[in-house]
Chains A and B, each alone.
Chain A
Amino acid sequence: MVAHRSLSQIFAAPLVIAIVSTVGLISALVGDGWWDAVSWVALGLPVLLYLLFIWRRRPN
């Protein structure tokens, strides 16, 4: 539990992730090779974060 958070605190991280995902969605359209790799990483990030957050709390 943390103290009440403001809207900007709540949405800061989601906004960054949304921007990164959007970059990922577009980059593979723009080019091949490195552009594709950028998109794999950028779109893989949400999946990775999900696993990380769920895993972190699992063991106890």
Chain B
Amino acid sequence: MLLLCITGLPLIFHDEIDDLLHSQVKPTEAPAGTPPADLDHLLANALARAPGKVPHFLIWDRDEPGAMWVSVGPTIDADPTNNLLIRMDTHTGAYLDSPDVTGRFTYIMLKLHTDMFAGLSGKLFLGLMGILFCVAIISGIVVYAPSMRKQRFGAYRAQRTRVVRWLDVHNLAGILLVAWTLVVGFTGVINTWADLVLKMWQFGQLAEMTAQYKDRPVPSKLTSLNGAVEVARHAVPGMTPSFVAFPGTLFSSKSHYAVFLHGDTPLTSRLLKPALIDAETGTLTDSRDMPWYVSTLYVSQPLHFGDYGGMPLKIVWALLDILTIFILVTGVYLWMRRRRAGVSQERAIANAASIDNP
């Protein structure tokens, strides 16, 4: 848990850290209302930079509207986590750069934080740790009552020995942060299930939507990407495209472009809605809201990351994270102290108290 709290701290500010440590080519300044480049043109430019590779995803940059990403892999069924990311200019369709993010400090922190470089099993292990963290918080609430029987709320006995002071710090910070730690802990657990949720969606709703295409051969030539995105925009008015999954990737069928769109409020911008476009004819096959388990995952993401309320919220998030580290450290100390003494916490404190006030 300590590892998670410590690696999580820089991740709160990962955008800022990346900006600071790594320079990026700036996209051209486009006055408001400039039409975006033709996506087929943009894609062709990107692929010219990556000979022999095939596109998996086309992604609109959430924070930098002037830039888009093309994610390419060696084959269409290759593991997308090893993909090369190519950054493109949204308005001119020109190549910007293709940074190798895997050597970055934030990437290493992210890997340590999400799967400890151990893939799905690492994720699920950390998920289990997260569940234990939530159980520990709840048991903490239970033992808070007897330990506060004789204390006012917020008591901090600064004059006492370390074990009493640290118990007070542990109790005070623990009870103050209880709602936040539970929410961040539990939403973190949900995030570890992301891969499973994706698989469930793939075999559930996605399979249902594309059932009639199951036995169709893979289209030999894909229709216009730009056209597919336009059809999707019209099919789902009021929403903005977030990314396109190419036919044959995890997020789509073999014969569809899957265009995922999002809304504009902080909440609906997290909820994606796919529009499946037949990659042979360029017409809309189906568009449905994602099932509840995918929506739950998407809503739990900002609640874990703390990236949904501007910089002040990130700072508050960091402070809360530091206090959580205090809770963990004092908790481990109190536990070891109790183990060593072989007596109950209350006894240790009573002893300490009697030494303080004979």
- A residues apposed to B, CB below 8 Å: 1-5, 7, 10-14, 17-19, 21-22, 25, 28-32, 35-36, 39-40, 43-44, 46-47, 49-50, 52-54, 56-58, 60
In the assembled complex, the Cα of A40 lies from the Cα of B303 at a distance in Å of: 14
In the complex, the answer to whether A18 meets B179 with C-beta atoms within 8 Å is yes
In the complex, the answer to whether B154 meets A10 with C-beta atoms within 8 Å is no
In the complex, the answer to whether B309 meets A36 with C-beta atoms within 8 Å is yes
Q: Given the interface contacts A10-B149, A25-B180, A47-B316, does A40 sit within 8 Å of B323 by beta carbon?
A: no
Closest CB-CB distance, B170 to chain A, in whole Å? Answer: 12
Neighbouring B residues of A47 by C-beta, 8 Å: 176, 316, 319-320, 323
Interface SS of chain A: helix, strand, loop or mixed? helix
Interface SS of chain B: helix, strand, loop or mixed? helix
Does B169 sit at the interface, judged by CB under 8 A? yes
Closest CB-CB distance, B166 to chain A, in whole Å? Answer: 12
Q: Given the interface contacts A28-B313, A29-B302, does A46 sit within 8 Å of B320 by beta carbon?
A: yes
The contact string, 1 if C-beta is below 8 Å from chain A, for chain B 127-163, is: 0000000000000000011001111111111110000
Neighbouring A residues of B175 by C-beta, 8 Å: 14, 17
Closest CB-CB distance, B199 to chain A, in whole Å? Answer: 27
In the complex, the answer to whether B309 meets A50 with C-beta atoms within 8 Å is no
In the complex, the answer to whether B150 meets A2 with C-beta atoms within 8 Å is yes
13 A-B Cβ contacts within 8 A?
A4-B150, A11-B145, A14-B144, A17-B176, A18-B179, A29-B302, A35-B266, A39-B309, A43-B317, A44-B316, A50-B173, A53-B156, A57-B157
- By the criterion of a CB under 8 Å from any partner CB, how many residues of chain B are at the interface? 40
Neighbouring B residues of A56 by C-beta, 8 Å: 156
In the assembled complex, the Cα of A19 lies from the Cα of B310 at a distance in Å of: 22
Q: Given the interface contacts A11-B145, A60-B158, does A43 sit within 8 Å of B313 by beta carbon?
A: yes
Closest CB-CB distance, B342 to chain A, in whole Å? Answer: 27
In the assembled complex, the Cα of A13 lies from the Cα of B178 at a distance in Å of: 12
Closest CB-CB distance, A13 to chain B, in whole Å? Answer: 4
Closest CB-CB distance, B219 to chain A, in whole Å? Answer: 40
Closest CB-CB distance, B49 to chain A, in whole Å? Answer: 37
Neighbouring A residues of B152 by C-beta, 8 Å: 2
Closest CB-CB distance, B61 to chain A, in whole Å? Answer: 19
In the complex, the answer to whether A53 meets B180 with C-beta atoms within 8 Å is no
- In the complex, which of the residues A2, A28, A44 contacts B308, with contact meaning CB atoms closer than 8 Å? A28
